[in-house]
Amino acid sequence: MGYTIAEKILMAHCGRKSIKPHEFIEADVDLALGNDITAPLAIAEFRKAGFKKVFDPGKIVLVPDHFAPAKDSRSANQCKVLADFAGEQKIRNYFEVGCMGIEHVLLPELGLVLPGSLVIGADSHTCTYGALGSYATGVGSTDLARAFIDGKCWLKVPQTVKFVYHGKLKKWVSGKDLILFTIGEIGVDGALYKVMEFSGPVIRALGAEERLTISNMAIEAGARAGIIEPDEVTLRYIKEVTKSQGHHVTSKKLKTWEGLKSDKDAVYEKIYEWNVSGLEPMVACPHLPSNVKPASSLGNVKLDQVVIGSCTNGRITDLKVAAKILRGRKIRPGLRLVVIPATQKIYLEAVREGLAEVFVRAGGVFETPSCGPCLGGHMGILTAGEVCLATTNRNFIGRMGSPESFVYLSGPAVAAASAVTGRVTHPGELS
Protein backbone atom coordinates (compact mmCIF):
# COMPACT_ATOMS: atom_id res chain seq x y z
CA MET A 1 0.00 0.00 0.00
CA GLY A 2 1.29 3.44 -0.94
CA TYR A 3 1.28 6.66 1.05
CA THR A 4 0.08 10.20 0.42
CA ILE A 5 2.54 13.08 0.60
CA ALA A 6 1.08 14.08 3.97
CA GLU A 7 1.55 10.57 5.37
CA LYS A 8 5.13 10.46 4.07
CA ILE A 9 6.02 13.71 5.82
CA LEU A 10 4.44 12.62 9.10
CA MET A 11 6.12 9.21 8.92
CA ALA A 12 9.52 10.86 8.40
CA HIS A 13 9.00 12.99 11.50
CA CYS A 14 7.93 10.25 13.90
CA GLY A 15 10.66 7.72 13.12
CA ARG A 16 8.30 4.97 11.98
CA LYS A 17 8.39 2.74 8.91
CA SER A 18 4.62 2.61 8.53
CA ILE A 19 1.68 4.81 9.37
CA LYS A 20 -2.09 4.79 8.94
CA PRO A 21 -5.00 7.19 9.43
CA HIS A 22 -6.45 7.70 12.92
CA GLU A 23 -3.20 6.66 14.68
CA PHE A 24 -1.66 9.01 17.20
CA ILE A 25 2.01 9.82 16.65
CA GLU A 26 4.61 11.84 18.51
CA ALA A 27 6.43 13.85 15.87
CA ASP A 28 9.52 16.05 15.75
CA VAL A 29 8.67 19.61 14.77
CA ASP A 30 10.79 21.62 12.33
CA LEU A 31 9.18 24.96 13.17
CA ALA A 32 6.90 26.12 16.01
CA LEU A 33 5.03 29.39 15.47
CA GLY A 34 3.16 31.72 17.79
CA ASN A 35 1.63 35.19 17.50
CA ASP A 36 0.60 37.95 19.88
CA ILE A 37 -2.70 36.24 20.73
CA THR A 38 -1.61 32.63 21.14
CA ALA A 39 2.07 32.73 22.15
CA PRO A 40 1.58 34.54 25.48
CA LEU A 41 -0.60 31.60 26.60
CA ALA A 42 2.06 29.13 25.49
CA ILE A 43 4.78 31.10 27.25
CA ALA A 44 2.74 31.13 30.46
CA GLU A 45 2.34 27.32 30.28
CA PHE A 46 6.04 26.89 29.50
CA ARG A 47 6.92 28.85 32.66
CA LYS A 48 4.23 27.12 34.72
CA ALA A 49 5.77 23.75 33.81
CA GLY A 50 9.03 24.96 35.33
CA PHE A 51 11.22 24.99 32.23
CA LYS A 52 13.93 27.59 31.76
CA LYS A 53 15.17 27.07 28.20
CA VAL A 54 13.43 26.27 24.92
CA PHE A 55 14.55 23.18 23.01
CA ASP A 56 16.00 25.12 20.05
CA PRO A 57 15.81 28.93 19.67
CA GLY A 58 16.31 28.55 15.90
CA LYS A 59 13.14 26.50 15.44
CA ILE A 60 10.75 28.90 17.15
CA VAL A 61 9.10 31.84 15.38
CA LEU A 62 7.24 34.64 17.17
CA VAL A 63 5.30 37.24 15.19
CA PRO A 64 3.14 39.96 16.79
CA ASP A 65 0.77 40.55 13.86
CA HIS A 66 -2.85 40.38 15.03
CA PHE A 67 -3.14 43.57 17.08
CA ALA A 68 0.17 45.15 16.11
CA PRO A 69 1.03 47.98 16.01
CA ALA A 70 -0.69 47.78 19.39
CA LYS A 71 -4.21 49.22 19.33
CA ASP A 72 -4.51 49.52 23.13
CA SER A 73 -2.66 48.78 26.36
CA ARG A 74 -3.80 45.14 26.48
CA SER A 75 -2.51 44.40 23.01
CA ALA A 76 0.71 46.27 23.84
CA ASN A 77 1.21 43.95 26.80
CA GLN A 78 0.66 40.87 24.60
CA CYS A 79 3.37 42.08 22.25
CA LYS A 80 5.72 42.82 25.14
CA VAL A 81 5.36 39.25 26.43
CA LEU A 82 6.66 38.03 23.06
CA ALA A 83 9.49 40.55 22.96
CA ASP A 84 10.66 39.71 26.49
CA PHE A 85 10.53 35.94 25.87
CA ALA A 86 12.37 36.26 22.56
CA GLY A 87 15.12 38.28 24.23
CA GLU A 88 15.39 35.93 27.20
CA GLN A 89 15.51 32.79 25.02
CA LYS A 90 17.62 34.33 22.23
CA ILE A 91 14.96 33.52 19.64
CA ARG A 92 16.32 35.05 16.46
CA ASN A 93 13.12 34.55 14.47
CA TYR A 94 11.22 37.20 16.39
CA PHE A 95 9.78 39.88 14.13
CA GLU A 96 8.86 43.17 15.77
CA VAL A 97 6.80 45.98 14.23
CA GLY A 98 8.92 47.49 11.47
CA CYS A 99 10.31 44.16 10.30
CA MET A 100 7.30 41.96 10.84
CA GLY A 101 4.35 41.12 8.66
CA ILE A 102 1.36 38.79 8.71
CA GLU A 103 2.89 35.53 9.91
CA HIS A 104 1.61 33.25 7.16
CA VAL A 105 3.00 35.50 4.43
CA LEU A 106 6.19 36.41 6.29
CA LEU A 107 7.48 32.88 6.96
CA PRO A 108 7.42 31.72 3.32
CA GLU A 109 8.85 35.07 2.23
CA LEU A 110 11.84 34.55 4.54
CA GLY A 111 12.45 31.00 3.34
CA LEU A 112 11.65 29.54 6.76
CA VAL A 113 9.25 26.92 5.41
CA LEU A 114 10.67 24.17 3.20
CA PRO A 115 9.15 21.18 1.39
CA GLY A 116 8.89 18.06 3.51
CA SER A 117 8.98 19.99 6.78
CA LEU A 118 6.57 19.68 9.70
CA VAL A 119 5.33 23.04 10.91
CA ILE A 120 2.94 23.68 13.77
CA GLY A 121 1.51 27.05 14.65
CA ALA A 122 -0.87 28.27 17.29
CA ASP A 123 -3.02 29.78 14.56
CA SER A 124 -5.49 27.89 12.39
CA HIS A 125 -4.20 29.33 9.12
CA THR A 126 -0.81 27.69 9.60
CA CYS A 127 -2.12 25.31 6.92
CA THR A 128 -1.02 27.97 4.40
CA TYR A 129 2.49 26.50 4.18
CA GLY A 130 1.18 23.25 2.72
CA ALA A 131 1.31 25.04 -0.64
CA LEU A 132 5.11 24.62 -0.45
CA GLY A 133 4.93 20.88 0.12
CA SER A 134 5.14 20.92 3.90
CA TYR A 135 2.80 19.39 6.46
CA ALA A 136 1.64 22.51 8.28
CA THR A 137 -1.17 22.57 10.80
CA GLY A 138 -2.69 24.70 13.51
CA VAL A 139 -2.46 23.63 17.15
CA GLY A 140 -3.50 24.93 20.55
CA SER A 141 -1.33 27.10 22.77
CA THR A 142 -0.63 24.19 25.13
CA ASP A 143 0.64 22.12 22.18
CA LEU A 144 2.88 25.05 21.28
CA ALA A 145 4.15 25.19 24.86
CA ARG A 146 5.05 21.51 24.70
CA ALA A 147 6.93 22.11 21.43
CA PHE A 148 8.87 24.94 23.13
CA ILE A 149 10.01 22.38 25.71
CA ASP A 150 11.21 19.45 23.59
CA GLY A 151 10.37 20.15 19.94
CA LYS A 152 7.70 17.46 19.77
CA CYS A 153 3.96 17.36 19.24
CA TRP A 154 1.26 14.70 19.43
CA LEU A 155 -0.75 14.46 16.21
CA LYS A 156 -3.55 12.25 14.97
CA VAL A 157 -2.87 11.02 11.44
CA PRO A 158 -5.64 12.35 9.19
CA GLN A 159 -7.12 10.81 6.07
CA THR A 160 -6.51 12.67 2.83
CA VAL A 161 -9.10 13.98 0.37
CA LYS A 162 -7.78 14.67 -3.12
CA PHE A 163 -8.99 17.55 -5.30
CA VAL A 164 -8.19 17.47 -9.00
CA TYR A 165 -8.88 20.57 -11.13
CA HIS A 166 -9.01 20.34 -14.93
CA GLY A 167 -9.37 22.99 -17.63
CA LYS A 168 -8.11 26.56 -17.90
CA LEU A 169 -9.13 29.47 -15.71
CA LYS A 170 -10.89 32.47 -17.25
CA LYS A 171 -9.60 36.02 -16.98
CA TRP A 172 -10.00 37.44 -13.43
CA VAL A 173 -10.44 33.96 -11.92
CA SER A 174 -7.76 33.20 -9.33
CA GLY A 175 -6.72 30.74 -6.64
CA LYS A 176 -9.13 32.50 -4.26
CA ASP A 177 -12.03 31.69 -6.57
CA LEU A 178 -10.91 28.06 -6.78
CA ILE A 179 -10.88 27.59 -3.02
CA LEU A 180 -14.17 29.46 -2.53
CA PHE A 181 -15.75 27.25 -5.21
CA THR A 182 -14.34 24.15 -3.48
CA ILE A 183 -15.63 25.12 -0.04
CA GLY A 184 -18.98 25.94 -1.61
CA GLU A 185 -19.11 22.44 -3.08
CA ILE A 186 -18.11 20.44 0.02
CA GLY A 187 -19.14 22.74 2.89
CA VAL A 188 -17.29 24.10 5.92
CA ASP A 189 -17.05 20.57 7.34
CA GLY A 190 -16.43 18.80 4.04
CA ALA A 191 -12.84 17.96 4.93
CA LEU A 192 -13.21 17.83 8.70
CA TYR A 193 -9.93 16.64 10.27
CA LYS A 194 -8.68 15.63 6.83
CA VAL A 195 -5.79 16.69 4.63
CA MET A 196 -6.86 18.47 1.44
CA GLU A 197 -4.44 17.57 -1.36
CA PHE A 198 -4.79 19.98 -4.29
CA SER A 199 -3.69 18.74 -7.73
CA GLY A 200 -4.35 18.70 -11.45
CA PRO A 201 -3.33 20.86 -14.43
CA VAL A 202 -5.03 23.99 -13.10
CA ILE A 203 -3.03 23.86 -9.86
CA ARG A 204 0.20 23.21 -11.76
CA ALA A 205 -0.45 26.32 -13.86
CA LEU A 206 -0.76 28.57 -10.79
CA GLY A 207 2.08 30.58 -9.28
CA ALA A 208 3.29 29.97 -5.74
CA GLU A 209 1.37 32.92 -4.28
CA GLU A 210 -2.00 31.76 -5.60
CA ARG A 211 -1.26 28.27 -4.29
CA LEU A 212 -0.59 29.78 -0.85
CA THR A 213 -4.03 31.39 -1.01
CA ILE A 214 -5.65 28.02 -1.71
CA SER A 215 -3.88 26.17 1.11
CA ASN A 216 -4.58 29.07 3.47
CA MET A 217 -8.32 28.41 3.34
CA ALA A 218 -8.19 24.62 3.77
CA ILE A 219 -9.14 25.22 7.41
CA GLU A 220 -12.36 26.88 6.21
CA ALA A 221 -13.41 23.42 5.00
CA GLY A 222 -12.44 21.94 8.38
CA ALA A 223 -9.14 20.49 7.15
CA ARG A 224 -6.03 19.94 9.27
CA ALA A 225 -3.76 20.72 6.32
CA GLY A 226 -3.93 21.78 2.68
CA ILE A 227 -1.03 20.42 0.68
CA ILE A 228 0.33 20.70 -2.86
CA GLU A 229 3.11 18.47 -4.15
CA PRO A 230 6.37 20.36 -4.80
CA ASP A 231 7.08 20.95 -8.51
CA GLU A 232 9.19 23.32 -10.58
CA VAL A 233 7.05 26.28 -9.46
CA THR A 234 7.61 25.40 -5.80
CA LEU A 235 11.33 24.86 -6.21
CA ARG A 236 11.80 28.09 -8.15
CA TYR A 237 10.01 29.98 -5.37
CA ILE A 238 12.07 28.26 -2.66
CA LYS A 239 15.33 29.00 -4.48
CA GLU A 240 14.40 32.68 -4.84
CA VAL A 241 13.36 33.25 -1.23
CA THR A 242 16.26 31.31 0.29
CA LYS A 243 18.75 33.10 -1.96
CA SER A 244 17.32 36.45 -0.85
CA GLN A 245 18.13 35.42 2.73
CA GLY A 246 21.70 34.43 1.85
CA HIS A 247 21.12 30.67 1.88
CA HIS A 248 22.15 28.19 -0.78
CA VAL A 249 19.96 25.21 -1.64
CA THR A 250 21.92 22.23 -2.95
CA SER A 251 20.95 20.31 -6.09
CA LYS A 252 20.64 17.18 -3.97
CA LYS A 253 18.11 18.86 -1.68
CA LEU A 254 16.12 20.19 -4.66
CA LYS A 255 15.99 16.70 -6.17
CA THR A 256 14.78 15.27 -2.86
CA TRP A 257 12.00 17.83 -2.66
CA GLU A 258 10.97 17.29 -6.27
CA GLY A 259 10.53 13.60 -5.54
CA LEU A 260 8.22 14.27 -2.62
CA LYS A 261 4.94 13.06 -4.07
CA SER A 262 2.00 10.84 -3.21
CA ASP A 263 2.35 7.24 -4.37
CA LYS A 264 0.18 6.11 -7.28
CA ASP A 265 -1.47 3.53 -5.02
CA ALA A 266 -1.96 5.93 -2.10
CA VAL A 267 -5.34 5.57 -0.39
CA TYR A 268 -7.64 8.60 -0.35
CA GLU A 269 -10.78 8.99 1.72
CA LYS A 270 -12.38 10.61 -1.33
CA ILE A 271 -11.39 12.12 -4.68
CA TYR A 272 -13.11 15.12 -6.27
CA GLU A 273 -12.53 16.04 -9.91
CA TRP A 274 -13.85 19.18 -11.57
CA ASN A 275 -13.43 20.98 -14.87
CA VAL A 276 -13.23 24.63 -13.83
CA SER A 277 -12.92 26.22 -17.29
CA GLY A 278 -16.33 27.83 -16.84
CA LEU A 279 -15.71 29.08 -13.31
CA GLU A 280 -16.52 32.75 -12.64
CA PRO A 281 -15.09 35.01 -9.95
CA MET A 282 -16.79 33.80 -6.77
CA VAL A 283 -18.02 35.52 -3.60
CA ALA A 284 -18.79 33.96 -0.22
CA CYS A 285 -21.89 35.57 1.25
CA PRO A 286 -22.69 36.03 4.96
CA HIS A 287 -22.22 34.25 7.22
CA LEU A 288 -20.20 31.25 6.01
CA PRO A 289 -17.27 30.75 3.59
CA SER A 290 -19.37 28.00 2.00
CA ASN A 291 -22.26 30.31 1.08
CA VAL A 292 -20.72 30.91 -2.33
CA LYS A 293 -22.27 32.58 -5.38
CA PRO A 294 -20.89 34.02 -8.65
CA ALA A 295 -19.99 37.69 -8.35
CA SER A 296 -22.17 38.47 -11.36
CA SER A 297 -25.28 37.40 -9.42
CA LEU A 298 -24.70 39.81 -6.52
CA GLY A 299 -24.76 43.18 -8.23
CA ASN A 300 -27.51 44.48 -5.95
CA VAL A 301 -25.36 44.10 -2.78
CA LYS A 302 -24.28 47.59 -1.76
CA LEU A 303 -21.08 48.07 0.24
CA ASP A 304 -19.81 50.37 2.96
CA GLN A 305 -16.23 49.07 3.00
CA VAL A 306 -13.77 47.04 0.94
CA VAL A 307 -10.66 45.46 2.50
CA ILE A 308 -7.77 44.17 0.39
CA GLY A 309 -5.14 42.30 2.40
CA SER A 310 -4.76 39.49 4.98
CA CYS A 311 -2.75 36.25 4.98
CA THR A 312 -5.06 35.09 2.19
CA ASN A 313 -4.68 37.91 -0.34
CA GLY A 314 -2.20 40.51 0.91
CA ARG A 315 0.70 39.47 -1.34
CA ILE A 316 2.26 41.63 -4.07
CA THR A 317 0.47 39.73 -6.85
CA ASP A 318 -2.84 40.48 -5.15
CA LEU A 319 -2.03 44.18 -4.87
CA LYS A 320 -1.00 44.29 -8.54
CA VAL A 321 -4.33 42.80 -9.62
CA ALA A 322 -6.26 45.32 -7.52
CA ALA A 323 -4.14 48.28 -8.66
CA LYS A 324 -4.60 47.32 -12.32
CA ILE A 325 -8.34 47.78 -11.90
CA LEU A 326 -8.14 50.90 -9.72
CA ARG A 327 -5.53 52.78 -11.75
CA GLY A 328 -7.05 56.01 -13.02
CA ARG A 329 -10.33 55.36 -11.23
CA LYS A 330 -11.96 56.61 -8.02
CA ILE A 331 -13.76 54.55 -5.44
CA ARG A 332 -17.46 55.12 -4.90
CA PRO A 333 -18.14 58.20 -2.71
CA GLY A 334 -19.11 57.14 0.81
CA LEU A 335 -17.24 53.83 0.57
CA ARG A 336 -14.06 53.10 2.56
CA LEU A 337 -11.22 51.21 0.88
CA VAL A 338 -8.59 49.73 3.23
CA VAL A 339 -5.50 48.17 1.65
CA ILE A 340 -3.06 46.28 3.89
CA PRO A 341 0.10 44.75 2.39
CA ALA A 342 1.02 41.59 4.25
CA THR A 343 4.71 42.34 4.98
CA GLN A 344 7.17 45.21 5.00
CA LYS A 345 8.83 43.83 1.86
CA ILE A 346 5.49 43.86 0.06
CA TYR A 347 4.82 47.37 1.39
CA LEU A 348 8.10 48.66 -0.05
CA GLU A 349 7.57 46.91 -3.36
CA ALA A 350 4.09 48.39 -3.64
CA VAL A 351 5.56 51.85 -2.98
CA ARG A 352 8.39 51.38 -5.51
CA GLU A 353 6.02 50.17 -8.23
CA GLY A 354 3.54 52.98 -7.64
CA LEU A 355 0.79 50.70 -6.39
CA ALA A 356 0.44 52.52 -3.07
CA GLU A 357 -0.11 55.77 -4.96
CA VAL A 358 -2.79 54.12 -7.09
CA PHE A 359 -4.71 53.08 -3.98
CA VAL A 360 -4.41 56.48 -2.31
CA ARG A 361 -5.29 58.44 -5.45
CA ALA A 362 -8.33 56.21 -5.88
CA GLY A 363 -9.49 57.32 -2.43
CA GLY A 364 -8.28 54.41 -0.32
CA VAL A 365 -5.89 54.13 2.61
CA PHE A 366 -2.64 52.15 2.49
CA GLU A 367 -1.95 50.65 5.91
CA THR A 368 1.01 49.13 7.74
CA PRO A 369 1.31 45.31 7.61
CA SER A 370 -1.09 43.71 10.09
CA CYS A 371 -4.00 41.27 10.32
CA GLY A 372 -6.01 44.43 10.99
CA PRO A 373 -9.77 44.08 10.62
CA CYS A 374 -9.74 40.45 9.46
CA LEU A 375 -10.40 39.12 12.97
CA GLY A 376 -12.05 42.26 14.28
CA GLY A 377 -8.71 43.67 15.41
CA HIS A 378 -8.34 47.25 14.20
CA MET A 379 -7.96 49.48 11.11
CA GLY A 380 -11.41 48.81 9.68
CA ILE A 381 -13.91 47.47 12.22
CA LEU A 382 -17.57 47.43 11.20
CA THR A 383 -20.52 48.81 13.11
CA ALA A 384 -24.10 47.48 13.08
CA GLY A 385 -25.67 47.28 9.65
CA GLU A 386 -22.48 47.89 7.68
CA VAL A 387 -21.53 45.67 4.74
CA CYS A 388 -17.95 44.84 3.81
CA LEU A 389 -16.38 42.94 0.92
CA ALA A 390 -12.95 41.59 1.96
CA THR A 391 -10.19 39.43 0.53
CA THR A 392 -9.90 37.79 3.95
CA ASN A 393 -10.78 34.18 4.80
CA ARG A 394 -13.72 34.22 7.21
CA ASN A 395 -17.09 35.94 7.29
CA PHE A 396 -18.66 34.52 10.45
CA ILE A 397 -21.12 36.62 12.44
CA GLY A 398 -19.19 39.36 14.23
CA ARG A 399 -15.88 38.38 12.63
CA MET A 400 -15.06 41.97 11.62
CA GLY A 401 -16.79 43.84 14.41
CA SER A 402 -20.48 44.15 15.17
CA PRO A 403 -22.50 40.91 15.11
CA GLU A 404 -25.02 42.94 13.14
CA SER A 405 -22.56 43.64 10.30
CA PHE A 406 -22.17 41.62 7.08
CA VAL A 407 -18.96 40.37 5.47
CA TYR A 408 -18.58 39.03 1.93
CA LEU A 409 -15.38 37.33 0.75
CA SER A 410 -13.74 37.58 -2.67
CA GLY A 411 -10.46 37.76 -4.52
CA PRO A 412 -8.65 41.08 -5.15
CA ALA A 413 -10.11 41.61 -8.63
CA VAL A 414 -13.72 41.53 -7.45
CA ALA A 415 -12.80 43.62 -4.38
CA ALA A 416 -11.18 46.38 -6.46
CA ALA A 417 -14.00 46.49 -9.01
CA SER A 418 -16.57 46.60 -6.23
CA ALA A 419 -14.77 49.51 -4.55
CA VAL A 420 -15.28 51.51 -7.76
CA THR A 421 -19.00 50.79 -8.15
CA GLY A 422 -19.94 50.59 -4.47
CA ARG A 423 -21.60 47.21 -4.96
CA VAL A 424 -20.42 43.64 -5.53
CA THR A 425 -19.12 43.70 -9.08
CA HIS A 426 -17.63 41.28 -11.60
CA PRO A 427 -14.37 42.95 -12.75
CA GLY A 428 -15.38 42.32 -16.35
CA GLU A 429 -17.93 45.15 -15.96
CA LEU A 430 -15.09 47.66 -15.85
CA SER A 431 -13.01 46.19 -18.67
Closest CA to 276 of 358, 352, 206, 363: 206
Residue 293 has pLDDT above 90, yes or no: yes
Residue 249 has pLDDT above 90, yes or no: no
Q: List pLDDT tens digits, range 29-62.
A: 999 999 999 999 999 999 999 999 999 999 999 9
How far apart CA 355 and CA 251 sit, in angstroms, is 36
- Residue 204 pLDDT: 97
Name residue 159's beta-bridge partners: 194
How far apart CA 13 and CA 27 sit, in angstroms, is 5
- Residue 263 pLDDT: 94
Closest CA to 272 of 184, 177, 168: 184
- Percent of the chain, pLDDT > 70? 100
Phi, psi of 232 (to 5 degrees): -65, -30
User: How many residues are there in the chain?
Assistant: 431
Q: Are strands 194-199 and 282-284 parallel, antiparallel or unpaired?
A: unpaired
Which residues are CB-neighbours of 132 under 8 A, at least 6 positions away? 108, 113, 114, 115, 208, 212, 228, 230, 234, 237, 238
Q: List pLDDT tens digits, range 352-384.
A: 999 999 999 999 999 999 999 998 888 899 999
Prior bond of 289 cis (ω within 30°): no
- Residue 276 pLDDT: 98
Instruction: For residues 225-236, give the mean pLDDT.
Output: 96
- Residue 327 pLDDT: 97
- Percent of the chain, pLDDT > 90? 91
Q: What is the CA radius of gyration of the chain?
A: 21
Q: List pLDDT tens digits, range 172-227.
A: 999 999 999 999 999 999 999 999 999 999 999 999 999 999 999 999 999 999 99
- Residue 244 pLDDT: 83
Coil vs helix vs strand at 10? helix
CA 173 to chain centre: 18
- Residue 338 pLDDT: 98
- Residue 245 pLDDT: 84
How far apart CA 145 and CA 235 sit, in angstroms, is 32
How far apart CA 292 and CA 409 sit, in angstroms, is 9
Phi, psi of 321 (to 5 degrees): -60, -45
Phi, psi of 390 (to 5 degrees): -135, 150
Mean pLDDT of the chain: 95
Instruction: For residues 324-337, give the mean pLDDT.
Output: 97
How far apart CA 60 and CA 149 sit, in angstroms, is 11
| Domains in the chain: ranges and CATH | 5-274 (3.30.499.10), 282-430 (3.30.499.10)
- Residue 253 pLDDT: 82
Going by pLDDT thresholds of 50, 70 and 90, the confidence category of residue 431 is confident
Instruction: For residues 391-398, give the mean pLDDT.
Output: 95
- Residue 257 pLDDT: 86
Residue 85 has pLDDT above 80, yes or no: yes
How far apart CA 283 and CA 290 sit, in angstroms, is 9
Would you give the end-to-end CA distance of the chain in angstroms? 51
